[in-house]
Chain A
Amino acid sequence: GENVEQHPSTLSVQEGDSAVIKCTYSDSASNYFPWYKQELGKGPQLIIDIRSNVGEKKDQRIAVTLNKTAKHFSLHITETQPEDSAVYFCAASPPTGNQFYFGTGTSLTVIP
């Protein structure tokens, strides 16, 4: 089955700096890669996603890149703000079945 690895497990940045979280996956058939943000005491919320026919997607300060050959994808947050502090999860989903394989999470702290 699919195996998703996520790094780093913790990340601290100064407000205004950029943050990058990286994930690798093992199943080359996976074709959908969502990113979730989980704030304290809440459920994970989708912030951006990318499909395997696209190499990059951007939404304001958030961008995701996908390298299918290397089987890795990354989340980029620019101009970080304190409210970006949360746990971020990547996931990979194969085209068959309905299972998300989640990474182990990255705890991001933005220091004011």
Chain B
Amino acid sequence: DTAVSQTPKYLVTQMGNDKSIKCEQNLGHDTMYWYKQDSKKFLKIMFSYNNKELIINETVPNRFSPKSPDKAHLNLHINSLELGDSAVYFCASSQIQGGETQYFGPGTRLLVL
């Protein structure tokens, strides 16, 4: 009965590879987010989708491409992985746009070698 789930939990891969992280929420929320947390614990928003429509796209390299097949899922695909992509990636969801609690998933720990 996990509210926001992510797979995989750990991802170790070589530089230059392409990988995907999946996120699902069963809260009935219509807005989902991807955050990146670096080694200093800074939480930085990457993308936000509302009802499958891209709302926020921060200054993220275009190697990162979010895909939302339906409002319960928001996947993150990363092309040509670089060492600097190593971080923890969190998915989150909220009920409506703005001013509502965001619920976070457990995170995906990505290590690029």
Contact = CB atoms under 8 A, between A and B. Distances in A.
Interface residues of B, number: 26
B16 to A, nearest CB: 28
Contacts of B90: 43-44
Given A98-B56, A99-B56, A102-B43, A43 B104 contact: yes
Given A42-B107, A44-B90, A89-B43, A98 B101 contact: no
Given A43-B90, A44-B90, A99 B103 contact: no
Interface residues of A, number: 27
B97 interface: yes
A89 B90 CA distance: 14
Contacts of B44: 102
Given A44-B43, A44-B90, A102-B43, A94 B106 contact: no
B47 to A, nearest CB: 11
A24 interface: no
A43 B99 contact: no
Given A42-B106, A43-B106, A100-B102, A105 B48 contact: no
3 nearest A-B pairs in the assembled complex, by CB-CB distance: A98-B97, A43-B104, A32-B99
Contacts of A97: 55-56, 97-98
A95 B98 contact: yes
Contacts of B41: 38, 87, 104-105, 107
